[in-house]
Amino acid sequence: MTALPVLLLQDALCLEHHAGVQHPESPERLRLALQQLLTDLPDGVQLAAPRDATDTELARAHGADYLAQLAATAGKPRTVLDADTATSAHSWAAARRACGALLTGLDACLDGEARGAFALVRPPGHHAERDAAMGFCLVNHVAVAAEHARARGCQRVLIVDPDVHHGNGTQHSFEARDDVLFISSHRWPFYPGTGAPGEVGVGRGAGSTLNLPLQAGMGDAELLALWQQLAAPVVAEFAPDCVLVSAGFDAWQHDPLGGLRVTERAVSRRSSRSSVPGPTRTAPASSLPCSKAVTTQRV
């Protein structure tokens, strides 16, 4: 029996988002990552072409007025949305394609056509709020994907966010719900100022948010201890039937701005099946620092 592939979803349109001259979230970051990956594609990984996210899919996680604001940027050379976030002529199209890459991979996993999906995309997403751009992010791709998973019949969706920055937009999307568990490890205090350990969800969602803050200079030992001692029991009790990884890698020890000392070994161990106990199986996902990718697999 032939093993199912892990899909690698990428599209040249994601290189057409330009946030500004010398902006840290530049096309070159994605271009270099793709160049290395496509030169030596790992065994069992298969390229797949993404689709665009539809208006209906985007509207599950974002308000109509905000989506209209983003759509109005199309074709304009530059639109400033906040102090850190700007668009170019093709940014809206790139954001829709990036979000669609996650949904393409998710559908393939839910339909039994893939055992995992890895979307290498930009612009990033986890800081985007329901009605506002923030922190380089336009569309909250993983929030859209989680809503899509629920619409497809998944009952308990786990979102893991290991970016050095807290995923404020994702937390706010689900903090009042008990059908989505959000777990974030991140440097704290740090941008964007959210992600304190006391933020555990509200109302019906109390207990469905788990923040694992790390102080500057911390690395593998502290990260893995938090995941194994705090996150693993929570995940086991939640028993997700879909896992989404919002995978920024700026917690890496050589990131020029992140300030943490996490190595590739720790990322691999945290992403392994043993780190996500219970019936759900996952495959590792990856992306650029502060860009979002999704791994999905349903039992």
Element (H, E) at 80: strand 79-80
Between the two ends of the chain, the Cα-to-Cα distance in Å is: 18
Contact 103, 244 (CB under 8 A): no
| Catalytic, out of 18, 127, 165, 186 | 127
Helix, strand, or coil (residue 248): coil
Q: Is the dihedral of CA 293, 58, 144, 52 positive or negative?
A: negative
Residue 57 in contact with residue 106, Cβ under 8 Å?
no
Would residue 127 show up in a list of annotated catalytic residues for this protein? yes
CA distance 158 to 166: 16
Helix segments in 40-187, DSSP class H: 55-59, 64-71, 91-110, 141-151, 168-174
Q: Are 35 and 75 in contact (CB under 8 A)?
A: no
Paired tokens of 18: 């330009």
Tokens of 32: 């270099």
Let me know how long the chain is: 299
**294 secondary structure, DSSP code:** -
Catalytically annotated residues: 127
